[in-house]
Homo-oligomer: A and B are copies of this chain.
Amino acid sequence: MRKIAESTVRRLSLYLRFLEEFEEQGIETVSSEALAARGGTTSAQVRKDLSFFGSFGKRGLGYSVQELVQKLRGILGLGRTYRVAMIGAGKIGSALVQYRGFKQRGFEIVAIFDTDAAKVGRGWNGLTVQDARELESALRDQRVDIAVIVTPADSAQNVADRCVALGIKAVLNFAPVQLTVPDDVVVKTVNLALELETLSYALTNR
């Protein structure tokens, strides 16, 4: 498939969210103009984004909300469940699990690890915290699609390497470091410090 810009994928995600709202409200048809208005973009952008994947609309009419929801779910790969292992049993992890959208969209946490002896063995959102040193033995016989890394910065790369060795192809990283992984593994890093500094820059330069 032709390479799609990350910005496009993010907008598709947004469109999906808005379309789901429209669906709940019983709206059956939507124009690119209406979707754009809801999402803070332009109708041309909406049409261009969708056009990379096919033509889903009817000229003169717009898009069927229901149909477009389904198409977008398919495009974004949301028609299935993803098995997630979380490494680091801290606050961010808890917040993620509590976040309804997580399970709702098919992301299911199947294992949780930590190095802290005080946490190992404890219950955690219906799972038992396992010793991070046993990552390999615990995950060897279990399919895991996504690793969420919520460890301190200095152990994140080590954890990432071990996940890669286990054959995991997607990593969501909250540690404030740049992870190095092979080309066939995809990493998304959420760096809170970076977001704060973007704000601080904006506040300063006005």
Give the interface size bracket for A toward B: 35 or more
Q: Given A95-B90, A188-B195, A195-B172, are A201 and B14 also a contact pair (CB < 8 Å)? A: no
Pairwise interchain contact A193-B95, C-beta atoms closer than 8 A: no
Against B, the Cβ 8 Å flags (1 = close, 0 = not) of A179-206 are: 0000010101010111111111111111
Pairwise interchain contact A77-B203, C-beta atoms closer than 8 A: yes
Q: Given A91-B95, A202-B186, are A196 and B172 also a contact pair (CB < 8 Å)? A: yes
Q: CA A196 – CA B97 in complex, angstroms?
A: 13
Against B, the Cβ 8 Å flags (1 = close, 0 = not) of A39-55 are: 11000000000000000
A13 interface residue per 8 A CB criterion: yes
**CB interface residues, A 92-120, toward B, < 8 Å:** 92, 94-96, 98-99, 101-102, 105, 107
Query: What 8 A-B pairs have minimum CB-CB distances, sorted nearest first?
Result: A77-B204, A91-B95, A186-B202, A77-B200, A92-B95, A13-B197, A101-B193, A170-B199
Q: Which residues of A contact B (CB under 8 A)?
A: 1, 4, 6, 9-10, 12-14, 16-17, 39-40, 75-78, 82, 90-92, 94-96, 98-99, 101-102, 105, 107, 145-146, 169-170, 172, 176, 178, 184, 186, 188, 190, 192-206
